[in-house]
């Protein structure tokens, strides 16, 4: 069952990126993130109430609560960086960089959680990394040192998103130990919600909410709904499955993202890019088989 949940998580996560890209055409990525979080929080707590786990909120032990809060903060940072990257770059360019979180999460799972990595797992890490590099334009790679020094580029934000996403997976795995995954997801959304709106207020962008075009608002809401579905599936998978397998399956959302970015945004891909995509999928398959 956890394997099916991981696959559903990948499907909804892929849709999230495409819908979010359409929602930040003219809207601030920070404001869009905050609005999406409202939708995700409502959906997560609605599901927690439906399955009856919301009443167990008071039984969460201090350690689990701490890691859920830390995971929520990492998620918020990852979201803010990811949508800042989407606002500045193409979906097909941002998504591969974000997927490096797979490699980072597996390494962190090995170091912090003691989850073993088999020979096939090592092969998967190498192949995914190679595939990711092929999916990135050579000019972007050569300009990486300058982008890191200057900051503010889509590449910088995408790399930061990958790092925080990896931390999210590890902290979330620890946080839901002994906690219903639905309730754990709901708790994390409150942390992300508070974090996002504090940043919106700090930037003085709260008034911009009223001026968001109806079409973009619809895409932002739809993106939030897809995110909620992805989260619930993802943390159900993490509850029963190893992070070193669940994380790479979830990252197959790149297939959904690439397909929709071509169909909706008419983005085109080179042979190098498609070869990298194939390698990324092959590396993921190696990890699952391992």
Q: Walk along the chain (290 residues) and give the pLDDT tens digit of each residue.
A: 788 888 888 888 888 888 888 888 888 889 998 999 999 899 888 888 877 888 788 888 888 888 889 989 998 999 889 888 888 888 888 888 877 887 888 888 888 878 777 787 788 888 888 888 888 877 777 666 766 666 677 888 888 899 998 898 888 777 777 777 778 888 888 999 999 999 999 998 988 888 899 999 999 999 999 987 887 788 778 777 877 677 777 777 888 888 888 888 888 888 888 998 898 888 877 776 65
CA atoms within 13 A on the CB side of 154: 19
Alpha-carbon radius of gyration of the chain: 18
E strand segments, 78-174: none
Residue for token pair 């800042």 = 84
Give me 75's structure tokens: 């998620």
58 Cβ contact list (under 8 Å, min separation 6): none
Compute the half-sphere exposure of residue 237: CA atoms within 13 Å on the CB side of its CA.
Answer: 23
Q: What is the structure's pLDDT at 288?
A: 66
C-beta of residue 104 within 8 angstroms of C-beta of residue 163: yes
The number of domains in the chain is 1
Q: Is 120 in contact with 286 (CB distance < 8 Å)?
A: yes
Looking at residue 268, the DSSP 8-state letter turns out to be -
For residue 121, the model assigns a pLDDT of 79
Roughly what angle, to the nearest 10 degrees, separates helices 91-98 and 154-175?
40
pTM of the model: 0.79
Residue 209's Cβ-side half-sphere holds a number of Cα atoms within 13 Å equal to: 14
Tokens 């998978």, residue located: 237
Range of the domain at 27: 2-289
């Amino acid at each position: 069952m956890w394997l099916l949940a991981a696959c559903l998580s990948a499907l909804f996560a892929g849709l999230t990126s495409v819908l979010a890209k359409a929602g930040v055409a003219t809207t601030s990525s920070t404001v869009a993130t905050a609005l999406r979080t409202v939708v995700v929080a409502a959906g997560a707590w609605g599901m927690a109430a439906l399955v009856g786990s919301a009443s167990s909120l008071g039984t969460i032990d201090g350690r689990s609560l701490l890691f859920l809060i830390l995971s929520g903060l990492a998620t918020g940072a990852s979201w803010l960086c990811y949508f800042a990257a989407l606002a500045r770059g193409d979906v097909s360019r941002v998504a591969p960089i974000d997927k490096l979180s797979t490699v980072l999460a597996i390494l962190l799972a090995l170091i912090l959680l003691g989850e073993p990595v088999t020979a096939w797992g090592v092969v998967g890490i190498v192949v995914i990394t190679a595939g990711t590099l092929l999916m990135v334009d050579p000019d972007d790679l050569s300009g990486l040192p300058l982008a890191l020094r200057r900051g503010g580029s889509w590449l910088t934000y995408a790399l930061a998103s990958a790092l925080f996403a990896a931390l999210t997976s590890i902290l979330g795995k620890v946080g839901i130990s002994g906690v219903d995954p639905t309730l754990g997801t709901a708790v994390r959304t409150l942390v992300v919600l508070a974090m996002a709106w504090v940043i919106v207020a700090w930037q003085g962008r709260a008034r911009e909410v009223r001026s968001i075009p109806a079409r973009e608002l619809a895409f932002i809401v739809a993106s939030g709904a897809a995110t909620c579905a992805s989260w619930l599936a993802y943390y159900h998978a993490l509850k029963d499955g190893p992070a070193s397998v669940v994380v790479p399956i979830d990252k197959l959302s790149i297939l959904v993202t690439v397909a929709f970015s071509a169909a909706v945004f008419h983005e085109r891909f080179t042979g190098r890019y498609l070869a990298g995509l194939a390698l990324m999928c092959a590396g993921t398959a190696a990890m699952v088989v391992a």
